[in-house]
Chains A and B, each alone.
Chain A
Amino acid sequence: MNLLGEIREAIKGFYSLAVGMGVTGKYFFRPEVTVHYPRKTVDNVSTYSGHVELQPGKKNPDGADCIVCGTCVRNCPSGCLTLEVLELMEENPDLEKKPKKIKKLKALIYDYSYCSLCGQCIENCPVTALGFSQHVYWAEFDRKAIKMDLVARLKDQLNAKKEAM
């Protein structure tokens, strides 16, 4: 390559550089777009699907509507849900008939570390007792700490709500 060509190449290079610098220069005066967590948080958490949780029931405002059918447990791809069932005898048994057993939800153990947030449990629940939470800023140091009982969590939530009222 001759000298003239070299110079032309260099000018081209510098021109492309100047154009690029022009772009960055323009954007330099644009307002900041990043959000500095935790001092500020993003405003679209409401659309995010966090971990699975029991929803306050429509029929049963003090707990969940869960009918202990086990559909969520069967449909979970990673087996992160475990049902603990409390079997009670009917309170006022009809003496002529056999006493009925009533199944009640004792605990729903949920291992968040295995959950892939696919929503199969929520979609398949016949009474829509499950839902996604908006509990997104959740971090723990210990893997065991993110295994929890959803029934206890719901109870805490309802108690907190009552206290606030």
Chain B
Amino acid sequence: MTTETLCGDFYTHCFQAEQDKEHEGRLIINMGPQHPSTHGVLRVIVEMEGEYISRAEPVIGYLHRMHEKMGEIKTYHQYMPNMGRVDYLHALAWNWAYIGAVEKLCQIEVPRRAEFIRVITCEMNRICSHLVWWGAYLLDLGAFTPIMYSFDDREQAVDLLQMITGSRLTYCYYRFGGVRTDINDAFIAGTRDFCKLMKSRLPMYKDLVTDNYILRKRCEEIGVLPLEMARRYGATGPVLRGSGQKYDVRRAEPYSVYPELDFEIPAFPEGDAMARYRVRVAEMEQSVRIIEQSLNMLPQGDFMAPKSPKRIKPPKGDVYFAVEGARGKIGVYIISDGSSTPYRLKLRSPSYSNLSLFAELAKGTLLADAVSILGSLDLVIPEIDR
């Protein structure tokens, strides 16, 4: 291609330069960064062969905030609010990953009551996250009504979380050695009602959407992700479980009180967008189960370790702590040099690995199906860009 016809930015140029000789003249277009189906500011450069994608490359970094650098500057306490902003849909899982890593590094004991409160709130947040995904994914596929139902339910959960955390989206609730506030009877009663509500709503979701013929046509056998490929890319969470691998950090690397709780890991072997959809809906059901059990097992006691340190100065060393977020394995790797700020702080975000397989997955699919695939990966752009 001659230089006169070159347009676009650095990434488009690179993408054009990689074009095969025989494919020369194929249309290269940008999807995003303001495309509504990309949930934020994701841009995908695609090379089209008619309606079919012959090559695709995601371009990210539009929402990059350098959280890892901030971690090296702020003290351990000061870094806490950042975690709510990495993944705004499942903020409490990120809270937990960071707090858990520091607790492991400093060997801080967490009271049992606090562990249960963490499980309840984190699972509640997971349901919220899946509900947003559920509504938004169907919106991508052209169904407007479901998001109204999902936001109605999510509102109940968010109101409950607001009751104890004080915020509605970017929570900063967990503390080193416990949680910020204790839960009260109103919250427990409200949560029980919410569990009942969700149990009645999930069959309704099935009638309304899951069995819908049009949805199945748009999801089934779309974006089939073989397990081998998922492993090669390090995909985790529902994306991996949609390929049939029963891998969940809550079971594989048990943390907190999850070993005591009875829940299943839903996995579907088909590997298509529908399998990923089913995994998430089944996960909501399991989260309700976990919440109900935790409420029954909730012990009395402290919600904050009485000896939790005011100033954190961990010993020298490194620690890797992983939790299961709504999108997969969230890992926080901290190298401490013994001072009050981390020497290095690495955030491993699940969507980042999940999105990196899109280029291979989208090859040869219809452009309209690529939207379905992108949606089924459940991307949260702030988490990818960090």
Separation of A132 and B165 alpha carbons in the complex (Å): 12
Tell whether, in the assembled complex, residue A120 and residue B77 are in contact, meaning their CB atoms are under 8 Å apart: yes
> Which B residues are CB-close (under 8 A) to A49?
166-167
Tell whether, in the assembled complex, residue B167 and residue A117 are in contact, meaning their CB atoms are under 8 Å apart: yes
Tell whether, in the assembled complex, residue A47 and residue B163 are in contact, meaning their CB atoms are under 8 Å apart: yes
* Segment at the B interface, from A18-26, A60-68, A102-110, A151-159: A18-26
Smallest Cβ-Cβ distance to B217: which chain A residue? A13
B221 → chain A closest CB, angstroms:
15
Tell whether, in the assembled complex, residue A77 and residue B80 are in contact, meaning their CB atoms are under 8 Å apart: yes
> Which B residues are CB-close (under 8 A) to A17?
212-214
Tell whether, in the assembled complex, residue B78 and residue A120 are in contact, meaning their CB atoms are under 8 Å apart: yes
Smallest Cβ-Cβ distance to B166: which chain A residue? A49
- Whether B183 is near chain A, meaning CB under 8 Å from some CB there, is no
B216 → chain A closest CB, angstroms:
8
Which chain A residues in 48-98 approach chain B with CB under 8 Å? 48-49, 75-78
Q: Give the secondary structure class of A's interface.
A: helix
Tell whether, in the assembled complex, residue A44 and residue B211 are in contact, meaning their CB atoms are under 8 Å apart: no
Known contacts A116-B81, A118-B81, A120-B77; is-contact A47 B162 (Cβ 8 Å): yes
| Number of interchain pairs (Cβ within 8 Å) | 73
- Whether B107 is near chain A, meaning CB under 8 Å from some CB there, is no
Known contacts A33-B152, A116-B170, A117-B167; is-contact A77 B81 (Cβ 8 Å): yes
> Which A residues are CB-close (under 8 A) to B166?
47-49, 117, 119, 132
- Whether B220 is near chain A, meaning CB under 8 Å from some CB there, is no
> Which A residues are CB-close (under 8 A) to B208?
19-20, 23-24
List the 9 closest A-B pairs by CB distance, nearest first: A49-B166, A13-B213, A118-B81, A77-B78, A116-B81, A118-B172, A16-B213, A23-B208, A47-B163
- Interfacial residues, chain B to chain A (CB-CB below 8 A): 74, 77-82, 84-85, 145, 149, 152, 155, 159, 162-163, 166-168, 170, 172, 180, 204, 207-209, 211-214, 310
The 16 sampled A-B contact pairs (Cβ below 8 Å) are A13-B213, A17-B214, A19-B207, A23-B204, A24-B145, A44-B163, A47-B166, A48-B166, A48-B167, A48-B168, A49-B166, A49-B167, A77-B77, A117-B172, A118-B80, A132-B166
- Interfacial residues, chain A to chain B (CB-CB below 8 A): 9, 12-13, 16-17, 19-20, 22-24, 27, 33, 44, 47-49, 75-78, 116-120, 123-124, 132
